């Protein structure tokens, strides 16, 4: 920027110098013309002076000739009236010519002095005008240089502001895009959270339903167990029911013991007995929990035979109660997880119960 400014200033000063030199050359030409005019006037003055000298010389010669003629020895007498006085006439002519010459010389000198004064005034005025014009040109060129520098500064500032504006727009566009992406991500997260909340709400409702049903079944099994102590004394076989969640469906009917058994259906339980009426188990609706596992009902049939020793009866009853409690816990875990462990847990519980009953 500084180099460009100095270059512009140098070019401006060079142009100013060339203009001043051109003005000086013009003034020199004017001075030469004035000098030539003065020389012409001086030459005219010299010619007029020479002419005056010639006139004076001719006049002197004529006067001398006339004087010589008047001083001759010729004496002429004319019988006539006296003529004019030639001397007086010549004197008058000489006086007239001298007066005319003096007047002409004075007029020429006055005219020359006036012309010289006019030329001097014109030279002085021209010099002042030239100096004023040079000062004006210099001032205008300085103003032009200052305006050009100001223009360059304004253009540079404009370019800087345009670049700053472009950078700011780019930054704000990038920031706007990031904010838009963040808003989109937050909206997606919000939608996922809402879906998860709805899913958890469904799971909570499902688990609450399972809990209520388990409590009902626990109450039912408690009633069955309380009635089982009396049935052990009266030698009556009982049937117990259990629900296991798994990933596949199916059912079998099992019946052993004395006088009856239990037959499994899709959604209801039917108990048969020859001697006593058993409490009915409320039906449990089977279905898919979150589309991952199917709940099917499997009937576990237990037949408790009559034992002579009360100790063995109480031990077997306690063992059955423990197995039922474990089966309830396993069912709740399996229903919540909804994985392939459900089948394994159900099979393991069934096998352990069979081993204990055997």
What are the 10-residue block averages of pLDDT along the chain, 358 residues in total? 77 85 86 87 88 87 79 55 72 85 86 86 84 88 91 92 93 94 94 93 92 91 78 47 39 36 36 38 40 35 38 43 41 38 46 51
**How far is 103 from 60, CA to CA, in rounded Å?**
20
**Which residues is 243 bridged to in the sheet?**
297
**How far is 241 from 140, CA to CA, in rounded Å?**
115
Boundary of a domain, candidates 110, 126, 161: 161
Distance of CA 180 to the CA centre of its chain: 16
- Contacting residues for 292 by C-beta, under 8 A, at least 6 apart: 338, 339
Residue 30 domain-assigned (yes or no): yes
Q: How many domains does the chain have?
A: 2
Task: Report pLDDT for 246.
Answer: 37
- Label residue 291 left, alpha or beta by phi (over 0 means left) and psi (-120 to 50 means alpha): left
pTM of the model: 0.28
- Label residue 297 left, alpha or beta by phi (over 0 means left) and psi (-120 to 50 means alpha): beta
Q: Tokens 């100001």 map to which residue?
A: 150
Specify whether 220 is located in the same domain as 118.
no
Specify whether 345 is located in the same domain as 257.
yes
Residue 137 domain-assigned (yes or no): yes
Specify whether 221 is located in the same domain as 149.
no
Q: Give exposure, 165-186, as e/b (b: 16+ Cβ within 10 Å).
A: eeeeeeeeeeeeeeeeeeeeee
Q: Residue 332: is it exposed, middle or buried by C-beta count within 10 angstroms (0-12/13-18/19+)?
A: middle
Residue 180 domain-assigned (yes or no): no
Specify whether 322 is located in the same domain as 245.
yes
SS3 label, residue 270: strand
What does the block give as tokens for 31? 């001075």
The answer to whether 255 and 303 have CB atoms below 8 angstroms apart is: no
Residue 249 domain-assigned (yes or no): yes
Task: Report pLDDT for 231.
Answer: 58
Specify whether 239 is located in the same domain as 351.
yes
Specify whether 29 is located in the same domain as 132.
yes
Specify whether 139 is located in the same domain as 23.
yes
Residue 231 domain-assigned (yes or no): yes
At residue 246, φ and ψ (nearest 5 deg) are -155, 175
Specify whether 24 is located in the same domain as 146.
yes
Taking alpha carbons only, the member of 254, 16, 274 closest to residue 144 is: 16
Boundary of a domain, candidates 130, 161, 192: 161
Specify whether 217 is located in the same domain as 351.
yes
Boundary of a domain, candidates 133, 161, 189: 161
Domain that holds residue 310: 204-357
Specify whether 102 is located in the same domain as 240.
no
Residue 189 domain-assigned (yes or no): no
Helix (H), strand (E) at residue 296: strand 293-298
Specify whether 2 is located in the same domain as 124.
yes
What does the block give as tokens for 337? 């997880």
Using CA atoms, how far residue 168 sits from 159, 163, 173, 180, in Å, is: 14, 8, 8, 18
Task: Report pLDDT for 303.
Answer: 36
Residue 238 domain-assigned (yes or no): yes
Half-sphere exposure of 114 toward its Cβ, with a 13 Å CA cutoff? Answer: 6
Residue 34 domain-assigned (yes or no): yes
Specify whether 9 is located in the same domain as 141.
yes
């Amino acid at each position: 920027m500084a180099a460009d400014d100095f270059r512009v200033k140098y070019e401006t000063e060079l142009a100013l110098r060339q203009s001043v030199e051109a003005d000086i050359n013009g003034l020199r030409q004017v001075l030469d013309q004035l000098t030539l005019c003065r020389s012409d006037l001086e030459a005219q003055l010299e010619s007029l002076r020479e002419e005056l000298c010639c006139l004076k010389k001719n006049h002197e010669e004529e006067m001398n000739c006339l004087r010589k003629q008047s001083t001759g020895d010729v004496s002429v007498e004319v019988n006539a009236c006296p003529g004019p006085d030639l001397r007086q006439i010549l004197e008058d002519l000489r006086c007239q010519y001298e007066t005319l010459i003096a007047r002409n010389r004075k007029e020429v000198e006055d005219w020359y002095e006036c012309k010289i004064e006019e030329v001097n005034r014109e030279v002085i005025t021209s010099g002042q005008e030239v100096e004023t014009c040079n000062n004006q040109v210099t001032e205008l060129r300085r103003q032009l240089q200052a305006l050009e520098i100001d223009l360059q500064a304004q253009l540079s500032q404009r370019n800087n502001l345009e670049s700053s504006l472009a950078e700011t727009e780019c930054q704000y566009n990038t920031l706007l895009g990031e904010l838009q992406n963040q808003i989109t991500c937050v909206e997606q997260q919000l939608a996922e959270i809402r879906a998860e909340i709805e899913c958890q709400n469904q799971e909570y409702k499902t688990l609450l339903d399972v809990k209520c049903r388990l409590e009902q079944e626990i109450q039912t099994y408690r009633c069955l167990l309380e009635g089982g102590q009396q049935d052990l004394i009266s030698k009556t076989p009982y049937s117990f029911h259990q629900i296991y969640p798994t990933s596949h469906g199916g059912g079998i009917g099992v019946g052993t013991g004395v006088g009856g058994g239990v037959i499994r259906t899709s959604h209801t339980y039917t108990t048969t007995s020859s001697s006593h009426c058993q409490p009915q188990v409320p039906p449990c609706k089977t279905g898919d929990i979150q589309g991952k596992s199917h709940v099917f009902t499997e009937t576990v049939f237990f037949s408790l035979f009559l034992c002579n020793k009360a100790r063995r009866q109480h031990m077997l009853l306690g063992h059955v109660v423990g197995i039922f409690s474990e089966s309830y816990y396993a069912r709740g875990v399996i229903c919540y997880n909804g994985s392939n462990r459900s089948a394994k847990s159900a099979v393991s519980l069934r096998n352990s119960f069979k081993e204990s009953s055997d």
